[in-house]
Amino acid sequence: MRLAVLDDDPILLDLLQVTATRAGHTCHLYQEGKELLKALRTDTYDLLVVDWHLPDMEGLEVIRTVRAASDNVPILFITRRNAEQDLVEALACGADDFMTKPLRMGEFMARCGALLRRAYPQAVAGTLVFGRYRFDPEQRSL
């Protein structure tokens, strides 16, 4: 699966990329909200991971913009903020899940996996369905 991770911490970005790659995902990294929003005009991702505080805009604004354009991509919100109101605000603006930093990599990948399973049940199961076509890589059949 293709993940886009938006965070201003280069060390965390590297850690998330290594973790996601080991789990078999392709991970694209962004440090500014406008950079991710620009990429979304031409690229698609199966999951977005968005930080709250960014150098150029708030993560909430990024999520609202993404939701205005497309409501189907799952979004995991990550932040150091941990008040109940922060969680409520993030979910209300369109995030599908919420984690507080410091992130635990096992939990991070479990939450990503759960979001991906719910959003793309056939793809995660190994079978891809496009209209009347069904691809099963394990059986090597169409």
- Please report whether residue 96 resides in a domain: yes
Q: What is the pLDDT of residues 55-67, one digit of tens each?
A: 999 999 999 999 9
Give the residue carrying structure tokens 């995991």: 76
Q: Are 112 and 118 in contact (CB under 8 A)?
A: no
pLDDT higher than threshold 60 for residue 125? no
Cα atoms found within 13 Å of the Cα of residue 130, Cβ hemisphere only:
4
- Residue-number span of the structural domain to which 45 is assigned: 2-135
Does 142 fall in a domain?
no
141 belongs to a structural domain? no
Domain of 108: which CATH number? 3.40.50.2300
Q: Which of 125, 116, 111 is nearest to 72 (CA)?
A: 116
Mean pLDDT calculated for residue range 115-124: 82
Q: Dihedrals φ, ψ of 4, to 5°?
A: -115, 125
Is residue 131 one of the residues assigned to a domain? yes
- Condensed to tens digits (0 to 9), the pLDDT of residues 14-41 reads 999 999 999 999 999 999 999 999 999 9
**Residue 40 to residue 45: CA distance in whole angstroms:** 8
8 Å CB contact between 32 and 55: yes
Residue 137: the pLDDT is 62
Indicate the SS3 state at residue 28: strand
pTM: 0.85
Please compute the mean of the pLDDT values over residues 131-136 and round it to a whole number.
72
